[in-house]
Every structure is written in C-alpha cells, then in structure tokens.
C-alpha cells in the first residue's frame, strides 16, 4: 500500500515538473525598476588632523653676572681634619690706609689641629666688581724662613695668620673707589685652607 502511494506521488511530481517551463515565470510589469541593492554600511569619517605648531627651543639668556677670573692663589691638599675657616677684618677701607684681615680657624673635630708654617703662608688676591684680578698674589720669600706654630684644640678657635692690604694694585697704584673681593688661601706646603671670600668697600 505504501509503495503504491509513493509511486503515484513520484509520477505526479514528474509530470508537473515537466509541464512548467521558463516561460511560465511571470515577468516584471513594464516600467518597473529593478530593485536597487541594499546600500553598504557607512564607514566612520576619519578624524580631522589638527596641525601642530613647531616646537621652539628655549632661548638662553646670557648671565649679566661676571665670572671670576681664575685664581692666582696656591693650591694644595685640603686640611684633613674637621674645621671651619673665616677671614675676619673690616668691610670698609679708606683709601690711603691699610686694613688687616686675620684667618681664624675653628676646630670642629675631635682631635687637635697642629700646623707648622711660615709667616707668609697666607696669600691673598683682590678682584674688582667685573671679576678681574687687580691685585694678584705677591710672593715674599724672606718671611717664609720664619717658623710659626698654630695649635687649635677641639671646639676652639685660633688665629693663624694676618694679611694686610692698602687698597692698591700689584704695582702700588691706588685703586678707584668701589667694591672689591678679597680671596685668601693658607698653604704650608702640606695642607691648604681656603676661607670664604669677603667683600671690601674701598672709599
């Protein structure tokens, strides 16, 4: 029974398939447009490019402060013991007079400081406001033959040597009024002590 039904359906389907041709498919009515394809998805617009300003290197402003001239002071190994050094003397000097400045040494360590040196082992130089050396170091070999002993105990301050300046240059000519810098250095051929420079107003 089932075989007959299947055979009948197969024959009927074959007859229908043969009876329908290409010409039996209805055409579009006249004037009808072919449907347009679906539009492609829109892509995001590129981000606008903002032009960047050129980078300008920073401008270097020249310094108006004059650089000090290279020192003419003696150089040696620094004192190896803890200490503080200062140059004590007048801040103002009248032209035609002589000022005195003393090198004071403060022992900030735990052991005594012992120095054996000459009487002229404290040298100094003078610079003008432009940073030029107007009175370089003057060497005196006569007084170096004198032996001076300086001992400074821990926690104490002692005077080492004193220098004198009369407001003149190395040739003995009086310098004009103004502000000058006094730089000094102690050197006994073994150790060197450099106190901070001091300002002196010459009137």
Q: Whole-prediction pTM value?
A: 0.64
Residue 15, SS3 per DSSP: helix
Strand partners, 106: 84, 157
End-to-end CA distance of the chain: 144
SS3 track for 52-90: CCCCCCCCCCCCCCCCCCCCCCCCCCECCCCEEEEEECC
pLDDT by 10s per residue, the chain, length 203: 555 555 555 455 555 445 455 455 555 555 555 555 566 656 666 666 666 656 666 555 555 555 656 787 988 899 999 999 999 999 999 999 999 999 999 999 999 999 999 998 999 999 999 999 999 998 765 675 788 999 999 999 999 999 999 999 989 999 999 999 999 999 998 999 999 999 999 99
Domains, in order of start, for the chain? 83-202 (2.60.40.2360)
């Amino acid at each position: 029974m089932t075989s007959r039904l299947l055979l009948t359906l197969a024959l009927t389907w074959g007859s229908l398939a043969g009876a329908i041709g290409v010409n039996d498919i209805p055409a579009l009515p006249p004037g009808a447009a072919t449907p347009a394809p679906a539009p492609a998805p829109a892509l995001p617009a590129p981000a606008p490019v903002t032009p960047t300003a050129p980078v300008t290197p920073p401008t270097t402003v020249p310094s108006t402060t004059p650089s000090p001239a290279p020192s003419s002071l003696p150089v040696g190994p620094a004192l190896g013991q803890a200490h503080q050094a200062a140059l004590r003397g007048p801040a103002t000097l009248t032209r035609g007079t002589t000022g005195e400045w003393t090198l004071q040494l403060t022992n900030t360590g735990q052991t005594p400081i012992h120095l054996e040196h000459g009487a002229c082992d404290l040298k100094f130089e003078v610079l003008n406001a432009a940073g030029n050396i107007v009175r370089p170091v003057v060497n005196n070999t006569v007084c170096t033959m004198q032996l001076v002993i300086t001992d400074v105990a821990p926690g104490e301050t002692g005077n080492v040597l004193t220098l004198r300046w009369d407001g003149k240059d190395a040739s003995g000519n009086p310098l004009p009024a103004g502000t000058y810098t006094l730089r000094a250095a102690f050197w006994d051929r073994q150790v060197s002590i450099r106190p901070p420079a001091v300002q002196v107003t010459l009137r």
